[in-house]
Amino acid sequence: MLLFVSQGTCVLNYALRDIDRGIYIKYRLDGSLFDLRRLSAKTKTVERLVTEALFADDCALMSHTEADLQLIVNKFAEASRLFGLTISLGKTEVFYQPSPASPEHHPPTILIGDTALKTFEHFKYLGSVISSDGSLDREISARIGKASQALGRLRTRVMNHKKLVSPATPVPMKEHYLHDDIIGNDGLP
C-alpha cells in the first residue's frame, strides 16, 4: 500500500510539475476562523493553485475550463505511461459542475488517447451526493432514505420483538430542573 501511495504521489508530482492551470484559491491564516469579514479581505492573503484532490484511492483533477482540464488529463496520462501505469478508462469519469450564472449545461468532452471519458451527473463519496446542478435534492432524498431504512430496521428489531413487552400504563417521568439540583432541592414537594 505504501509503495502504491508513493508511486501515485510521484506520478501526480511529475504530471503537474509545470502546470499553472487549475483552480486558484485565496485564503488567510491569521485571525479567527469564524470571522466572516475575513472572506472579503484583500490583504494578507495567500493564493494557492489546486489541481487535484485525493479521495481514499481515487484522484480528482480539477480545472475551470475544458481546455485546461484536457491539458491536465493529457499530462497525467503521459506521466502514468512513463511510470508504467495504465489508466482504467472504464472507471475514469468526468464530473462537470457549471457555475450558477452559466445559461446552459454542456458537459465537456475529455479524451485520453482516442477514448472519450464518460460524464456523470452525481458524485457519491462517503454517503454524500454532489449534483452537477448544485442542487441538494438528491442529497436530501438519500439522507431521508437512509433514516427511513434505519427506522425500519429498528422497528423490526425492537417494536415487533415478542420478548420485549411495554407496560400497559405509561410511567410518568419525574421532572428535574438544573437550578433545583444546584441548590439541593431534589424536586420533591
Q: Do the domain assignments include residue 137?
A: no
* All three cell numbers of 121: 451527473
Among 139, 107, 109, smallest CA distance to 126 is for: 139
Residue 154 pLDDT? 83
Instruction: Point out the residues of the chain with pLDDT beneath 70.
Output: 1-6, 33, 164-189
Q: Do the domain assignments include residue 52?
A: yes
Count structural domains, the chain: 1
- Look up cell 479521495; give the residue: 55
Report helix, strand or coil for 174. Answer: coil
Residue 34 lies in domain = 2-108
Q: Do the domain assignments include residue 39?
A: yes
Which helix (H) or strand (E) segment holds residue 9: the answer is: helix 2-15
Q: Do the domain assignments include residue 152?
A: no
* All three cell numbers of 61: 483533477
Q: Do the domain assignments include residue 94?
A: yes
